[in-house]
Every structure is written in C-alpha cells, then in structure tokens.
Amino acid sequence: MPPHLPRGDKQLVQIVDGAFADSARRSGNWLVCHAGCTQCCYGVFAINPLDVARLRAGLLRLQRTEPDAAARIRRRAKESIKRLQANFPGDSRTGTLVQDFEADRRFSSFANDEPCPALNPSSGRCDLYESRPMTCRVFGPPVRSEEGLGVCELCYHGATDEQIAACEMIPDPDDLESQLLRQLEAVGKSGHTIVAYCLASE
C-alpha cells in the first residue's frame, strides 16, 4: 500500500528548507555542513509518522528509477535492525518506540554509532536526501530546545553566544507539522519509530 502523505507535507518541506537556507546565509562560514559530511548520519533518532510516510514515498520513487539502490537501502535497514533488536527500547518486532521516562532514558544512549540505512557508504551521501526526516533537515544551524540553542559540534567554532543566537533557525513557525500529524492520526497513523524499521518494510 502506498504511504499516506498529506498534501501539506510539500509546503512544510519548503518552509523548513527555506528556514535552513536563511540561517545558512546568516551563518556564513560558521556553518560547515556540506555534501559528503556524515556527522549527522550516525546514531538513531525517533521519527514520527509524517517522516515515515515521506521516507517510504521516497523509497518507492527510488524503487521505480533505481531498483538496485532501493534494494541496497532495504538490505542496510534489515541489517541494522538485526544489530539493534536485542536492546531496542520499544516493540522490537514492529519498531514502535515506547514513550515513557525509562524508555526515553534508554533511548538517549541507544545505538549512538549506528549508521543510517539511507547513508550511502561509498559516496557519503543520503540516498533519500529529498525525502529525509525533519531532524535531518534542521541539523547544523542553531535550533532552540529545552536545553537552549543546539548546534552541530563541527559548526560555529569561534562564534560568540550572541553571534550564534543571531543565526537561530525557526523551522516551522506556524507548527504546520502538528497539523499534518493530526491528519495522519485520524487515519490510524501514530507512534514513533526509527529509520531502519521504516525502510526495512517491503
């Protein structure tokens, strides 16, 4: 069954990518992200149903144009699951993460060196770049969280706190993502997982 991707996702992607480009312009040489840098491609992270639908839609498109590349992604995803299943902080069969304090604590130190299945080990590039999750789209520039402004450890060397704050990225100011997630919840799509489980399914 094709993934159910809300029509508004294209607008969300445009908004977030535009916010990244604006922050990158203000950041200048402090932001060192470039094609082939894989700093953000190691370590698992939670993805929501909208990320899942986008990734699966991208994989289906790749399947039509480059079936061998799509097969390699699925193979890497299945190999990743084999490595992660024993200590997975959730349902290791479905890949659904448990969301409570203890599970969150376990997840914070879980598989921090695991490569993303979408990462092409030969080129160092993402094979599903246009369909990547929101976490990937905002990695690098200063993004505000409960802990303050977080940035990639490779970036903003020599910048003061004030200079970093001046480059802050506000990815989704109108919280369009939450609206789209509610649409998916209405059709029974909820819960979080990781990229490997998302891409391993046929």
- pTM attached to this predicted model: 0.93
Give the pLDDT of residue 36.
87
Give the pLDDT of residue 99.
81
Contact 97, 194 (CB under 8 A): yes
CB burial class (10 A; 0-12, 13-18, 19+) of residue 147? exposed
Give the pLDDT of residue 202.
62
Give the pLDDT of residue 201.
79
Give the pLDDT of residue 148.
84
Give the pLDDT of residue 2.
55
Give the pLDDT of residue 1.
47
Give the pLDDT of residue 101.
81
Q: Consecutive 10-residue runs of the chain (202 residues): their mean pLDDT?
A: 81 97 97 90 96 97 97 98 94 91 84 95 96 96 88 94 96 96 94 96 70
Selection from 137, 148, 131 nearest residue 172 by Cα: 137
How far is the C-alpha of 26 from the C-alpha of 59, rounded, in Å?
A: 33
Give the pLDDT of residue 118.
98
Taking the CA atoms of 194, 76, 201 and 89 in sequence, report the sign of the dihedral they define: negative
Give the pLDDT of residue 183.
95
